[in-house]
Every structure is written in structure tokens, then in C-alpha cells.
A and B are shown apart, each in its own frame.
Chain A
Amino acid sequence: MNFLRYLLRRLAQAALVLGLVIVLQFLLLHLAPGDVADVIAGESQASDPAFVQQLRSELGLDRPLPVQLLLHLQRVVTLDWGQAHSMDAPVWQLIAERLPGTALLMVSALLLAIVLGVALGILAALHARRGLDGLISVLALLFYATPGFLVGIGLILIFTVQLQWLPMSGMSSLYGDASWWQRSVDTARHLLMPMVSLSLFYVAIYTRLMRAAMLEVLPMDHVRTARAKGLGRWRIVWHHAARNALLPIVTMAGLQVSSLLGGSVIVETIFGWPGIGRLAFEAVFKRDVPLVMGILLLSSVLVLLVSLLVDLIYTRLDPRIRLR
């Protein structure tokens, strides 16, 4: 009962925040000068006022701003996301087409970052202030400081241009008939470089985080007790130390969903990966308000849901945290 009330209150809060976010996003987008009619007419070098006027009235851009806002809110509530101005398709369709790509990229990059980061962090902590620790620290610093686009271009130069091992762009290069297995292998080959480019930065963060947390936990009494009981080394490391050290990693991973979305814009651009990040980037520059609003709505919901989820996981992982 307690839990249900907590959940309802959090959901109500989230809905309120979401409403505010939508209004703010809409106003923010209209603060920038220029609209999609400018962009369409400009790109096709049209120099005819009747043509631009025709575009504006077709797209409903000639109505007063408050009317446009109300119409937009009405559409959000009725789950009608409208037609993208800059592309010839409904907003929901464009998003639905790109969502799997971004989800695949983000989830795989996050998993890689957590697995690699946790492993490196544990190793570093076990060898604290010795050779391996130093090596891992330097590596983490390098990952942390190298921008994703540089990693991406570097990988392309090595693995596509020089070695010719991996495809460099898009999600697939199979045309025509192919089996499920062939398609999966093909997608995995395309995924490898973008995934690594996106995750290295987070590998660095998780490594540092895990190392610090482990160093805190290792000297604790329960670890000493476990050792005194004569338990195996890896059993102690994993069951008694690492599990307790994982808490900050979970928090961090939750917080980073939104930052991953941001990072994916760059990685998706370099690798021509068909995802939401690139779509958002293009939509902003084309002043495609319905499309931008659709993507922002989705990402806001995502961030709100994940932060709620993290709070809930927290209460399970750490019984000291109470639901209030």
C-alpha cells in the first residue's frame, strides 16, 4: 500500500514536470529566429514570395503562437504527433523507424561500458598503487579525454580504410534476400565501431567509480571476516566487495541515459547510424517543430521513467532507503 501511494505520487509529479517541459520546449524552439518555410525555400533557392507564403499557410505557420501552442498541446494529449514538416512522413513513423537503431546502440554501449568498467575498476582496486593500476588509470584517463568523434574517425581509418575488416556506415549493407542469421551478423559488424566509440567515455567513468568504491569496501570488516572464514579470493571480491560497490554504478547508469542520447548524436552522424539522435539534430536545424517536439517528448518521458526506475531499484538494493 505504502509502495503504491509512493508510486502514484511520483507519477503525478512526473506528469506535472512533463507538462512544464513541453510548454518550455515549445517556447524555446520559437525563440530561435526562422522557421521551416525559410529552410525549405532557402535550400531549394526559391526566390518567390508567393511560394514561401504558400508553404507557411500549408504548414500552419501563419497562425498566432498561442494558437499554435494550444493546438500542439491538444495533439500531445490525443497522442497525435502530427506530420513532420521537413520530411514527408508522420512524426511517429519517423521516430518508430529510428528507435530500434538508437536503442540497440545505447543499450549495447551502456552494457559494454558497465561490464568493461566494472572489470577494469575491480582489477585496478585489487592492484591499487601498483603497475596494473597505473596502466588502467592512464587508459581510463585517455578514454575520458578523447572525444567520441575522434575515436570514431580513428576506428574508421584503422578498421575500414587500412585493414578493411569492418563496414563503416549505416546499420546494414545487405540488399535483397538474406537469412535472419546473415542479417544479425551484418548488423553486429556495423554496430561494433559505433558501440565502442560511444562507450569508451563511460568505460572511463565506471572504471574510476568502481575502483574508488572497491577501495572503500575492501578494508571493511565484513570483507576481513570473509577472508578470515577462508573463503576463496574471487568469491570475496565478487560477493562481499563488488556487490556493495555496485550501488553508485546503478545511479550513474540511470543518470547517464540522457547524456548517452546526447552522445549518440555525434556517433550516429559519423557512422551514418540511423538513430534518434541524428534525427533530432537535423530536425532542430530544419526548424521542424513537430518532429523536434515529438523527439523531445519521447526523451523527456524516457528520462523521467528511468529516474523513477532508478529510485525504485535503489530501495530494493539498499534497504536503508525508505519510501516516502
Chain B
Amino acid sequence: MIPLLKSLAALVALSASFATVAQAPVRGGTLTVALPTEPAHLNSAIDTTQQVKIVAGKIYSGLLKYDLKMNMQPDLAESWSVAPDGRTITFKLRKGVKWHDGRDFSSADVAFSIMKGFGPNNGLVRTTFANVESVQTPDAHTAVLVMRQPAAALMNALPVATATILPAHIYDNTDIRRNPANTRPVGTGPFMFSEWRRGDAIVLVRNPNYFEAGKPYLDRMVFKVIPDTQARGAAVESGAVDMVFHSTVAASDARRLAGLKNLELTTDGYHFDSTVSFAEFNMQHPIVGKREVRQALAHAIDRKFVLDNVWMGFGKVATSPVHYGLRQAHTDSVPQYAYDLKRAEQLLDEAGFKRGANGMRFKLTIDFVPFGDQYPKVAQYVRQQFVQIGIDADVRSSDFATWVRRIWTGRDWALNLSALTNASDPSIGIQRAYSSKNIVPGTPFTNGTHFRNADLDNYFEQASVNSDPAIRKRHFAAIQRILATELPVIPLVAIDQFTISSKRVRNHATLSDGVYGGFADVWMAPN
């Protein structure tokens, strides 16, 4: 009797806990999200900044969605197939989908978006889509991409935030940057644009004709512009907003907020923004142009310290500029540079930079990207470390435009602290920064170190057209070994971005593009 009672009790407890885990979604409610910066417009085909993507991602749809393990799922495309030679890719599109203005969605919209929309206009992925020769539309629900050469990264680059499908009937034969729909968007997504109070808030409402029946659950979404970091923290703490995304409260505040009983924190859903922070070198600089000097500097930086004290533990110590989250490419088996000041000094002595009369070896200026509050802190830390090994280092701060000009045009810099989005694939996110073919003075986020290595160029090119994952992984491993040996860049921290949200908000981090996705599945638990 007793055992039976016990197991009964266990069963009751189990079903009770099940009930809290797998509650049925509730319809209704308003979800308020804090925006750190007001978007310039809401056309994510021509602008991939966070503030544009997070709003536009709810209004538009992409061809595919990706779960947290990057498995493809249908969005506007119901099914898809890549020809064995990689030369054609066929998408079967969902039927009966309507634009928010009532017009029918068709393959013509897909063709327009790839050839004239995000294809040429999305700065990050345009090299990937440059391989598309044409998009054929045999019927209204089939789109066939004909490739000049295979693009291995393309199938991982089709979520709404990167590859936004625009309405051809509104955009075709217009100036895409000046189209009035950029600020009054018409999409196929779960939410419809309602109102834009400039400088204050953007309001979206439920799309009653969304193609997934019964969704979305929310009645309304409000994106509230809160430019101040402290104020964003206070906003989510007080419940004035339900969510802050992409690490936009101070990391030092995040742990405390995450511990509050009404809030929770997740680092899921930022795969497409996998970012590694690093110290990179101007390879033409007379001093840091020498490999021994770069190696010495690598030994002088305690990356664990940077991770724990600047990023407050959000991430992992980086050994490669490829984020550990990109499992198809990342490797740890590369030369390592342990934190060792003696070794650093010894390498500098060997390189011919002995301490002078004043105890200093040479002068070095440290630049950093003026974005967020982390990089100035890293700069101060690195300066202190360098002074210890006899380098007369100083830190120079500049605003974004000045910094961009200095690194990629003026080139009067030595060491630069910054970060780079890997996107979903090294062929998109990493190749641009280290391939010598992409040394383009005057263009930001090209190869700014002017690193040249013929082997590396080769591996990148082969990886970008080969669709065999095993071969690609080998190429990427070779690339990471070359970078870790030649050290144009010292990777510091593979950053985990985080979202802090009210515990009432459910299902917001179930996809690889997390908060940038459509939120059709997101619902608010009652108070």
C-alpha cells in the first residue's frame, strides 16, 4: 500500500511538474522589447544592424528557419533540394501565403529578393549570393537558383533576418533605399506594422492571416527605444519592458538581473551573430609586423582574465577567430600562447627589442572599436600588461567613423581591439577579414590587417565552393592553424550574447536566430 501511495504521489508530482514545463500556449498580450538604438528604417534586406533585424524579422519571412542545432526548417519554403553538383537549388514554396496588403505571395517575390533585394544589397552576404546567376520561376510556387559556381554557405544564410523576402509588387523598379515601404513595411510575417513614434517606439500587431494557422499568439509587440544602458537595466528590472536582447545591459549588471525572481537569462539564439573579440595587428607596421613581437604580445595577455573581468564570464577563452559555436568549422588544435610574461620578454629580447635606458623597449598605440563598454576596458588592461613587459603603450579612443577611417583607410595604427561576426559560416564571416583578395583600402570590415598568405587564400576558396562538410572542416582547420601560427590576430574571447527576459515570455530562444526570428511561437504566460 505504502509503495503504491508513494509512486502515486510521485506520479502526481511528475504530472504537476510537466504541467509547468509544457503549458499550453496562451493567446493574447503585449510583448515589449527594449531597443538600444532606433532603426533607420525596417528593411532588413539592405541593413543588417540588430535594431533593424529584430523588428523586421517579425514583419517579414525568410525561406528557411534553423533550429538551435542549425537543422533547416520550413518558413516560406516548404521543401528544398540542392543538386549533387551544387549548381541548382530548388525551393518549393508554401501555397496560399498573402502579403499584409492582401496580395498573393509567389516565386516572383523570391526571384526579386535574391536578384535585386538582399542579393546585391545585404553587405554581409552579398558575396555569397553573387554566385547566383539567375532565379527561375517555372510556376508561382517553385523557385530554382541557378549557380555560377556552388556556394557552400548559401543554405545556411536564408533566415528572415539575413535573407528577407521583400514584396516585388512594392519594390520592383523602385529605388530600394528610398522606397516608402522601408518605413511602412508590408511583409508576410506573423506581425504587421502598425505605428512608428519616432524616437520613442515602434508598434506591431498580430497578422490575422499568418500562414501558420493559430499563430502568432501575441496580440501586439512594442519596441521601445531606450538609449541608455543603465536605464535599459532598470526597465527590464521594473517590468517596463519584458526583454532586453543582444547583451545590451551591462554584463556586470546581467548576473544580478538574471538572479531576480521574475527574470531569466539565456545565451541561446545568437548563432548567426557568433562573435569573437580579438587584438589584431597592422602587418605593415615596422614593429608589430614582426611575427616574434606578435607572439610575445600574445603571451602577455591573460585571456581568462579578460573573459572573467570584462565579459563577466559570458563566453569562452578563444583560441581561434572562428567561434566555438560554429561546430562545422571550429578547431582547438592550433598553436597556443599561454599567459607567460617571462616568455614574452624573452621573445621581445630575441626579436631585437631590448629594454632601453628608461626600461622601455618601444612605443605602441592601442586602438579599439567604440562599440559597447567592453573594448575600452580591454584596451586599459592590455596597456597595463604591455607596460609590464617594457612597452610604452597608450590607448587612443575615437568615434566609430574616425575608427573605421583609421583602420581601413588611413592605416596609421599598430594594434586594434575589435570583434567580428562570424555569421553562420566562416566563408561569410571570416574569409572577408583574412583573404588577401579582400585587401581593399577604404572599405570597412575587409582585410584590415593586410595579412597575405597564399595557402590561406587557397583553403578559403576551396571551402567556399565545396559542399562536402568533412572536406570543408579540414580546410577550415588548416586556415585556423595558419592564423594561429602567423598571428595577424590574437583571438581573445568567443562571446556568448545574452537575452534577459521576464519569465512570462516563453519560446523566444528556440531558433538559431533567436530574437531576430518571427516570434510566431512566442507567448506570454498570465501573471
Give A171 to B235 CA distance when docked, in angstroms.
Answer: 15
- With A161-B238, A169-B235 in contact, do A88 and B124 touch (Cβ < 8 Å)? no
Taking a contact as CB atoms closer than 8 A, the residue among B183, B195, B225, B230 that contacts A170 in the complex is B225
A-B contact pairs, 15 of them (CB 8 A): A32-B401, A33-B405, A34-B399, A38-B401, A42-B400, A46-B444, A51-B126, A88-B41, A88-B183, A164-B238, A168-B231, A272-B224, A272-B225, A272-B226, A273-B199
Interface size on B, residues (CB 8 A): 60
Given A52-B442, A175-B220, A161 and B200 contact (CB-CB distance below 8 Å): no
Report the minimum CB–CB distance from B200 to chain A (whole Å): 4
Judging by beta carbons under 8 Å apart, are A156 and B126 in contact? Answer: no
B438 on the A face (CB < 8 A): yes
- A58-B177 Cα distance, complex, nearest whole Å: 9
* Cα-based distance from A97 to B201 in the complex (angstroms): 13
Whether A47 pairs with B438 at a CB distance below 8 angstroms is: yes
Chain A proximity mask over B199-242: 1 for CB below 8 Å, otherwise 0: 11101000000000000000010101111101100110111100
Tell yes or no: A41 within 8 A of B by CB: yes
Known contacts A48-B443, A272-B231; A160 and B41 CB within 8 A of each other: no
Report the Cα distance A33→B408, complex, angstroms: 12
User: Is A299's CB within 8 Å of the partner chain B?
Assistant: no
Q: How far is the CA of A149 from the CA of B230 in the complex (A)?
A: 10
Q: Name which of B127, B203, B226 has the most chain A CB atoms within 10 A of its CB.
A: B226
Q: Which of A83, A87, A170 has the most CB of B within 10 A?
A: A170
**B404 contacts A169, CB within 8 Å?**
no
B40 at interface (Cβ–Cβ under 8 A)? yes
Compute how far the CA of A83 lies from the CA of B183 in the bound complex, rounded to whole angstroms.
Answer: 14
Residues of A within 8 A of B (CB): 32-36, 38-49, 51-52, 58, 83, 86-89, 94, 97-98, 101, 149, 152-153, 156-157, 160-161, 164, 167-172, 175, 269-275, 278-279, 282, 285-287
Contact flag A45-B421 (CB < 8 Å), given A274-B199, A278-B227: yes
User: Known contacts being A47-B432, A169-B226, is A42 close to B198, with CB within 8 Å?
Assistant: no
Q: Which residues of B contact A282 (CB under 8 A)?
A: 37-38
Residue B48, interface by CB 8 Å:
yes
A278: chain B residues within 8 A (beta carbon)? 199, 227
Minimum C-beta distance from B404 to chain A (A): 4
Chain A residues within 8 Å of B225, by CB: 169-170, 272, 274
Known: A160-B234, A168-B240, A272-B200. Contact between A44 and B48, CB under 8 A?
A: yes
Residue of B nearest to A167 (CB): B240
Rounded to whole Å, the gap between the CB of B476 and the closest CB of chain A is: 19
Tell me the B104-140 residues at the A interface (CB within 8 Å).
121-124, 126-127
Given the interface pairs A32-B402, A88-B41, the reply to whether A42 lies near B228 with Cβ below 8 Å is no
A45 to B182, CA, bound (A): 20
Give the most central of B200, B203, B225, B402: most A CB within 10 Å.
B200
**B200 x A45 contact (CB < 8 A):** no
Q: Which 10 A-B pairs have the closest CB atoms?
A: A46-B123, A274-B199, A34-B401, A88-B41, A42-B444, A47-B445, A33-B405, A47-B432, A34-B405, A38-B404
B6: interface (CB < 8 Å): no
**Which B residues touch A101, using CB under 8 A?**
199
Q: Is the CB of A35 within 8 A of B240?
A: no
Q: Which of A49, A88, A171, A271 contacts B40 (CB 8 A)?
A: A88
Complex alpha-carbon distance, A33 and B238, angstroms: 41
**What is the distance, in angstroms, from B196's C-beta to the closest C-beta of chain A?**
10
- Residues of chain B lying within 8 A (CB to CB) of residue A272: 199-200, 224-228, 231
Q: How far is the CB of B39 from chain A (nearest CB, A)?
A: 9
Q: Which residues of chain B come closer than 8 Å to A89, judged between CB atoms?
A: 183, 198
Q: Which of B28-69 contact A (CB under 8 A)?
A: 30, 37-38, 40-41, 47-49
The closest CB in chain A to the CB of B408 belongs to: A38
Nearest-neighbour CB distance to chain B for A152, whole angstroms, equals 8
Q: A46-B126, A167-B240 are in contact. List 20 more A-B contacts (CB 8 A).
A: A34-B405, A38-B444, A44-B124, A45-B421, A49-B440, A52-B443, A83-B178, A153-B230, A156-B230, A156-B231, A160-B234, A160-B240, A168-B231, A168-B235, A169-B225, A169-B226, A171-B200, A269-B227, A271-B231, A272-B199
> Which B residues are in CB contact (< 8 Å) with A43?
47, 49, 400
Interchain CB contact under 8 A, A34 and B404: yes
CB distance from A305 to the nearest CB of B (A): 24
CB contacts (< 8 Å) of B220 on chain A: these are 175
Separation in Å of the B86 CB from the closest CB of chain A? 23
Cβ-neighbour of B445 out of A34, A45, A98 (below 8 A): A45
Q: Digit string of B441-462 for contact with A (CB within 8 Å is 1, else 0)?
A: 0111110000000000000000
Which of chain B's residues have a CB closer than 8 A to the CB of A58?
Answer: 177
A175 / chain B contacts, CB cutoff of 8 Å: 30, 195, 203, 220, 222
Q: How distant is the Cα of A46 from the Cα of B429 in the complex, in angstroms? A: 10
A32 to chain B, nearest CB (A): 7
Name the residue of chain A whose CB is nearest to the CB of B423: A45
Given contacts A33-B410, A88-B40, contact A161 B234 (CB under 8 A): yes
B473 at the interface (CB under 8 A from A): no
Contact status B201-A41, CB under 8 Å: no
B406 at the interface (CB under 8 A from A): yes
Check B40–A287 contact: CB distance below 8 A. no
* Contact assessment for B231 and A285 in the assembled complex, using a CB-CB cutoff below 8 Å: no
Instruction: Please measure, in the bound complex, the distance between the C-alpha atom of A270 and the C-alpha atom of B197, giving whole angstroms.
Output: 18
- Residues A48 and B126 in contact in the complex (CB < 8 Å), given A34-B401, A272-B226, A285-B400: yes
Which residue of A has the minimal Cβ distance to B398?
A33
